[in-house]
């Protein structure tokens, strides 16, 4: 196997077994699936085929191969069988370095595009589940997958396709945002309990709000308490979800702590999307997957029907006593922030707010990620911290205070709510009559998997410069490709929190 698609990849790429736990068998099946997706898309482009089933399959296949989604060989073999039911061009070989006749830079740009497409497909899948689709998104996925087999594509053309991927992802995050708002209303600032309640409990993780809604409906009046985990935390801010009184609290931290936290959780656990880790024996009977997530030995539940999860929660009994704890604030999507825009703008004009930091992205296990905690802690008191995605668990339980009633830490939401953060930045730029790059705003990103790759491409497609990226730079970016990114977008690796604050903050 050879895989270097995520941040935790072993030096130069995982070759024997994935740091994520993906074995050679699963990695091989995923490579075959990606190769077939390219061949299916190339044939569809050749034949000008527009077919909803084919598009859905491309999206499903791409999302399935995102890090920490599907570790189940049987499930992957099933997808390979379905792949063979679609017409394909010949010559699509599996694996990152299948084509040895192209340059390292072309391989690098192809892989960035592949990972960008995986992230884009994940968001397209989330939106489609809520009934929102856009044919232009599917058309781009077909075109881009087909381009990955085209040896005539130049470095320049591949750079352009990567930027287009970012642009199409903005549209995808936009329809996902619309889907969330239409179903559940605009997020509103909401206090979220971090304690626990006596009685049966279900912990729900991942990004899929429809699964949460179905679970809330199916558990209503049954004496079961629902806890959110990881990227489900922002759900507490949506009126259509917070109205359920048994959506009680947020439990635990980011995905990489799940083996310890899930083992301690005395209830059932439902993983709706990434990021799942190999379940420990101690809780493998308590954890369930749904949607595209799969792990051998873990019960997979389908069709939004969570009877087995509920049954397990009742059997386990849950928490023995009430243990309330502190509360944290969520729900600062663009609608909530822009409703107090006048206050924010006045605070900037008066000098009460000197700078905004968007500290967002994925969390992970590496020790270098303490940088993000240190950054949030050391940011001067006259700065506002916007955050999104699961990297926030490094600092979202700390006290940051407020500036004239505006909380210093504003939780914008999930990773896809990067769309909301962009809306906030664009509105601020409009108010100050400048470009986003001229705002007193610095973007400090942490990346882990392929959703983060496509969010980064989206920021590039908007022309956003001076992004600081960590904890390490992607292994799949060659020096020449990095130079293109530095020359055009002045992207830079993180240094220390103190150095990066000194470089961005002006008194």
**Interface region with ligand SF4, contact rule CB under 6 A, candidates 12-20, 177-185, 208-216, 495-503:** 12-20
Kindly tell me which residue out of 3, 34, 249, 376 binds ligand SF4, with binding defined by CB under 6 A. 3
The answer to whether 451 contacts ligand SF4 (rule: CB under 6 A) is yes
Q: Least CB distance from residue 289 to ligand SF4, whole Å?
A: 14
Kindly tell me which residue out of 62, 165, 275, 425 binds ligand SF4, with binding defined by CB under 6 A. 275
370-373 contacts at long range (C-beta below 8 A, 24 or more positions apart):
370/394, 371/470, 371/471, 371/494, 371/496, 371/497, 372/444, 372/446, 372/470
CA distance 71 to 481: 31
Kindly tell me which residue out of 64, 190, 258, 274 binds ligand SF4, with binding defined by CB under 6 A. 274
Nearest by Cα to 82 from 63, 46, 56: 56
Task: State whether residue 383 is helix, strand or coil.
Answer: strand
Which residues are registered as beta bridge partners of 446?
Answer: 361, 470
Q: Least CB distance from residue 329 to ligand SF4, whole Å?
A: 19
Write each residue from 198 to 237 as x if it is in contact with ligand SF4 (CB under 6 A), else as -, in one continuous string: --------------------------------xx------
**Interface region with ligand SF4, contact rule CB under 6 A, candidates 13-21, 41-49, 292-300, 491-499:** 13-21
Kindly tell me which residue out of 59, 224, 389, 457 binds ligand SF4, with binding defined by CB under 6 A. 389
User: Can you say how many angstroms the Cα of residue 223 is from the centroid of all Cα atoms in its chain?
Assistant: 32
Q: Least CB distance from residue 1 to ligand SF4, whole Å?
A: 7
Q: Least CB distance from residue 256 to ligand SF4, whole Å?
A: 8
State which residue, 65 or 162, has the beta carbon closest to ligand SF4: 65
The answer to whether 4 contacts ligand SF4 (rule: CB under 6 A) is yes
Kindly tell me which residue out of 125, 417, 449, 500 binds ligand SF4, with binding defined by CB under 6 A. 449
CA distance 239 to 237: 6
The answer to whether 67 contacts ligand SF4 (rule: CB under 6 A) is yes
Task: State whether residue 404 is helix, strand or coil.
Answer: coil
Q: Least CB distance from residue 51 to ligand SF4, whole Å?
A: 29
The answer to whether 9 contacts ligand SF4 (rule: CB under 6 A) is yes
The answer to whether 111 contacts ligand SF4 (rule: CB under 6 A) is no
State which residue, 96 or 353, has the beta carbon closest to ligand SF4: 96
Alpha helices in 251-340 (DSSP H): 258-264, 307-316, 334-339
The answer to whether 6 contacts ligand SF4 (rule: CB under 6 A) is yes
Kindly tell me which residue out of 137, 359, 390, 464 binds ligand SF4, with binding defined by CB under 6 A. 390
State which residue, 253 or 318, has the beta carbon closest to ligand SF4: 253
Q: Least CB distance from residue 310 to ligand SF4, whole Å?
A: 24
Sign of CA dihedral 430, 436, 440, 443: positive
CA distance 1 to 19: 12
State which residue, 118 or 164, has the beta carbon closest to ligand SF4: 118
Asked if 407 and 190 count as a contact pair (C-beta separation under 8 A), the reply is no
Residue 90, exposed/middle/buried by CB under 10 A (0-12, 13-18, 19+)? Answer: exposed
CA distance 298 to 25: 18
Q: For residue 444, what is the enclosing H or E element?
A: strand 441-446
Write each residue from 399 to 428 as x if it is in contact with ligand SF4 (CB under 6 A), else as -, in one continuous string: ----------------x-------------
**Interface region with ligand SF4, contact rule CB under 6 A, candidates 6-14, 39-47, 352-360, 496-504:** 6-14
Write each residue from 18 to 57 as x if it is in contact with ligand SF4 (CB under 6 A), else as -, in one continuous string: xxx-x-----------------------------------
Kindly tell me which residue out of 140, 238, 255, 372 binds ligand SF4, with binding defined by CB under 6 A. 255
**Interface region with ligand SF4, contact rule CB under 6 A, candidates 14-22, 42-50, 465-473, 481-489:** 14-22
- What DSSP string runs through 105-158? HHHHHHHHHHHHHHHHHHHHHHHHHTT---HHHHHHHHHHHHHTT-TT--HHHH
421-425 contacts at long range (C-beta below 8 A, 24 or more positions apart):
421/334, 421/358, 421/360, 421/386, 421/388, 422/170, 422/458, 422/459, 422/462, 423/334, 423/338, 424/334, 424/337, 424/338, 424/386, 425/358
Cβ within 8 Å of residue 221, ≥6 positions away:
none
Count the helix, strand and coil residues of the chain and give each as a percent rounded to the nearest 5.
50, 15, 35
Binding site for ligand SF4 (CB under 6 A): 3-6, 8-9, 14, 18-20, 22, 67, 230-231, 255, 274-275, 362-363, 389-390, 415, 448-449, 451
């Amino acid at each position: 196997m050879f895989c270097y698609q995520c941040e935790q990849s072993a030096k130069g790429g995982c070759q024997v077994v994935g740091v994520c736990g993906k074995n050679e068998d699963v990695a091989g099946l995923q490579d075959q699936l990606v190769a077939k997706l390219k061949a299916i898309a190339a044939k569809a482009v050749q034949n000008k085929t527009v077919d909803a089933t084919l598009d859905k399959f491309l999206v499903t296949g791409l999302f399935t191969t995102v890090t920490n989604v599907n570790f189940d060989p049987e499930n992957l073999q099933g997808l390979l069988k379905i792949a063979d039911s679609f017409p394909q061009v010949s010559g699509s070989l599996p694996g990152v370095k299948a084509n040895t006749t192209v340059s390292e830079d072309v391989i690098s740009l192809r892989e960035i595009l592949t990972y960008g497409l995986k992230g884009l497909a994940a968001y397209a899948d989330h939106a489609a589940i809520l009934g929102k689709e856009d044919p232009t998104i599917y058309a781009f996925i077909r075109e881009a997958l087909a381009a990955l087999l085209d040896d005539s594509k130049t470095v320049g053309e591949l750079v352009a396709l990567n930027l287009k991927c970012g642009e199409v992802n903005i549209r995808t995050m936009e329809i996902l945002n619309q889907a969330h708002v239409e179903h559940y209303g605009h997020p509103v600032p909401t206090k979220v309990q971090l304690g626990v309640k006596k009685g049966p409990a279900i912990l729900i993780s991942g990004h899929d709000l429809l699964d949460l809604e179905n679970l809330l409906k199916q558990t209503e009046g049954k004496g079961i308490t629902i806890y959110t985990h990881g990227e489900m935390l922002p759900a507490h801010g949506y009126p259509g979800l917070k109205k359920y009184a048994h959506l009680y609290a947020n439990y635990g931290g980011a995905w990489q702590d799940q083996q310890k936290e899930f083992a301690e959780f005395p209830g059932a656990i439902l993983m709706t999307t990434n990021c799942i880790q190999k379940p420990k024996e101690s809780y493998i009977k308590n954890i369930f997957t749904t949607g595209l997530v799969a792990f051998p030995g873990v019960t997979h539940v389908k069709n939004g029907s969570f009877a087995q999860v509920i049954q397990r929660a009742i059997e386990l009994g849950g928490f023995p006593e009430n243990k309330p704890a502190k509360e944290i604030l969520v729900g600062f999507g663009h609608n909530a922030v822009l409703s107090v825009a006048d206050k924010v703008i006045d605070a900037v004009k008066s000098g009460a707010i000197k700078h905004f930091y968007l500290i967002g992205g994925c969390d992970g296990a590496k020790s270098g990620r303490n940088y993000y905690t240190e950054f949030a802690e050391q940011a001067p008191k006259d700065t506002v911290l916007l955050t999104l995605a699961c990297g926030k668990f490094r600092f979202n339980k700390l006290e940051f205070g407020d500036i004239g009633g505006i909380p210093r830490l504003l939780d914008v939401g999930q990773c896809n709510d990067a769309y909301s953060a962009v809306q906030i930045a664009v509105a601020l730029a409009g108010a100050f009559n400048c470009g986003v790059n001229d705002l007193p705003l610095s973007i400090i990103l942490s990346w882990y998997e392929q959703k983060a790759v496509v969010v980064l491409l989206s920021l590039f497609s908007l022309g956003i410069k001076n992004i600081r990226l960590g904890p390490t730079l992607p292994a799949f970016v060659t020096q020449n490709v990095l130079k293109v990114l530095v020359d055009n977008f002045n992207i830079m690796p993180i240094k220390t929190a103190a150095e990066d604050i000194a470089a961005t903050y002006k008194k």
